[in-house]
A and B are shown apart, each in its own frame.
Chain A
Amino acid sequence: MIRLRNNIILPLALLSAWLLVTKYELFSPYLLPSPQRTFTVFWQLFLDGTLTRHLSISLLRVLGGFFCSCLVALPLGILCGRSTRFHDFFWPVLEFLRHVPPLAAIPLIILWFGIDEASKLMIIFLASFFPLFLNTYGGIKNCDTKLLEVGSSLHFTAWQTARYIQLPAAVPSILVGLQLALGYSWRALIGAELIAASSGIGYMILDAEQMSRPDIVLVGIFCIGILGTLINRLFLKLTCKLLPWQGKAGDD
């Protein structure tokens, strides 16, 4: 109860400040629309289906890009963590790419993939690949040698060691990677939609800016923030079930 109340103080204070500032029109309503106005616009956009359409398109893009990223980053991370040969083979290129923000590659991506879905998937893929890959790699690589020795003492094969010791030991780290990757995908998507798109929540915001509708911009921002939080919550709920042993100290 106490935590809940604590949680709610700051948002309520900010909302009140917003109400007051707009009530006394400290800023022009063209710059800062009132909460009531914003909510009304939200409700209109929701009723006529615009909001749902843009949001669901954005959501699908995020999930699609995130899924592609999982397909590549997870196996690659595991392989590089397991074998130095793989690691040495891929590392120079990956290290180079890691330092290039996906937003910097947008012009090229648009040139190569057009402004259709492929380019958005590509941007999300680039944004979510590294947190996922690096956390998977680190999780496998940093497996406690004491646990690995238990495998050697049981005469485990390389495959058995990977499957029954390294992989389970890396699960918490992989989940952190997934969580980060999801957050990064979401941000990168909005970036991509702001630059080249004809649908999606990012496009809605850009369109509203060009039509001087700060109220719609605010609705878009709130939707992004709230949806991102909800997705993260959902993800944590799901992963808690996967880690019944977590949150407590290890054995030695």
Chain B
Amino acid sequence: MPIKIDALTKVYSTAEIKVTALAPTTLSFADHSFTTIVGKSGCGKTTLLRLLAGLEEATNGTVSFSTKKPEIGFVFQEPRLMPWLTVAENIAFAIRKGGLSTEKLPQLLDILGLSAFARSYPSELSGGMAQRTALGRTLFQNPDIILMDEPFGALDYFTRKGLQETLLDLFRLERKTIIFVTHDVEEAILLGERVLIMQKGAIIGDIPVKLTYPRDPAASEVLTLRRQILEGLESKNVKVVDES
């Protein structure tokens, strides 16, 4: 389902200062597309995702979907697991809404490499395991749109590679609409059909990546794109963001 945002803006006002976390932005995300967003820390990536998910009230502008109420899944930057539930119960948390079954739970645990820890509590997990559990929770929910906020940030290289593949398989098989935030430029290129570059609350670049999956990080096209994006991220002449 296409997602359209129109002049979407978010300003956080505290007693002393106003922070424009998202300058007026107009964009759309096609159905079944995989978009990645890269940007430095504090540039407003999380804010954009939260606005899309309806977790934050926009200061201005609108978000609209083609269907009335699409199911949106959110993978937060931190695991946010329920400490009183086991790994398996956390993954199956969406079952409390009704309309889902635990049928695919074993398979999901297997994909995420968590089968041996199904009955462990979050306090007994490593950071990466907790993050995988959180990812599993959203996959279990089986939403139409998946918003992911640096979900692989805390993972080692190999787990990360494995989960990137899992995510791509899922994307190709089930044709989800995925918006994936990362600060890793290479990851953004390997995963996205389109890379958005964000700086100081504004989208300053929108780069299509027309390469077939799976992509080779050493391929010359990937390296060229990488240079292009890094230059964009470092460029000084970006839209001035009002911080009055």
Binding site for B on A (CB under 8 A): 146-147, 149-150, 152-156, 160, 163-165, 168-169, 171, 243-245, 248-252
Tell whether, in the assembled complex, residue B121 and residue A153 are in contact, meaning their CB atoms are under 8 Å apart: no
Report Cα–Cα, A143/B232, bound state, in Å. 41
Q: Of B53, B79, B97, which one neighbours A252 at CB under 8 angstroms?
A: B79
Q: A146-B76, A154-B94, A155-B97 are in contact. List 11 more A-B contacts (CB 8 A).
A: A150-B80, A153-B76, A154-B93, A160-B96, A160-B97, A163-B96, A169-B84, A243-B84, A245-B121, A251-B80, A251-B130
Residue from A160, A168, A243, A245 whose CB has the most chain B CB atoms within 10 Å: A245
Which residues in window 76-97 of B have CB below 8 A to A? 76, 78-85, 93-94, 96-97
How many contacts A-B (CB < 8 Å)? 70
The docked-state distance in angstroms from the alpha carbon of A248 to that of B72 is 32
Q: Quick check: is B201 within 8 A (CB to CB) of the other chain?
A: no
Would B78 and A250 count as touching, CB distance under 8 A?
A: no
Please, which residues of chain A bring their CB within 8 A of the CB of B141? 154
**Contact (Cβ within 8 A) A248 B123:** yes
Assess whether B122 is interfacial by the CB under 8 Å rule: yes
**A248 near B74 (CB under 8 angstroms)?**
no
B residues contacting the other copy or chain, number (CB 8 A):
28
- Given A156-B96, A245-B121, A248-B123: A147 touches B82 (CB 8 Å cut-off): yes
Q: Could you tell me which residues of chain B, from 56 to 86, have a CB within 8 Å of some CB in chain A?
A: 71-74, 76, 78-85
How far apart are B102's CB and chain A's nearest CB, in angstroms? 16
Cβ contact of A153, chosen from B73, B79, B81, cutoff 8 A: B73
Q: Decide if B78 touches A146 in the complex (CB within 8 Å).
A: yes
Closest-by-CB residue of B relative to A163 is: B96
Cβ-based interface call for B234 (8 A): no
Closest chain A residue, CB of each to CB of B94: A154
A-B contact list, 29 entries, CB within 8 Å: A146-B80, A147-B80, A149-B55, A149-B80, A150-B76, A150-B80, A150-B82, A150-B93, A153-B55, A154-B93, A154-B94, A154-B97, A155-B97, A156-B97, A160-B97, A165-B82, A168-B84, A168-B85, A171-B84, A245-B84, A245-B85, A248-B123, A250-B83, A250-B123, A251-B78, A251-B80, A251-B81, A252-B80, A252-B130
Shortest CB-to-CB span from A155 to chain B, Å, is 7
* Pairwise interchain contact A153-B93, C-beta atoms closer than 8 A: no
Chain B residues contacting A147 (CB-CB under 8 Å) are 80, 82
The yes or no answer to B124 lying at the interface (CB within 8 A) is yes
Closest chain B CB from A73 CB (angstroms): 22
Known: A149-B55, A152-B55, A154-B97. A248 touches B80 (CB 8 A): no
Q: Which residues of A contact B124 (CB under 8 A)?
A: 248
Q: Which B residues are in CB contact (< 8 Å) with A245? A: 83-85, 121-123
User: Which chain B residues in 123-176 approach chain A with CB under 8 Å?
Assistant: 123-125, 130, 137, 141
CB neighbours of A153 from chain B (8 A)? 53, 55, 72-74, 76
A156 and B141 CA atoms in complex are apart in Å by 12
Q: How many angstroms from the CA of A168 to the CA of B84 in the assembled complex?
A: 7
Chain B residues closer than 8 Å to A243, beta-carbon distance? 84
Closest residue of chain B to A249 (Cβ to Cβ) is: B123
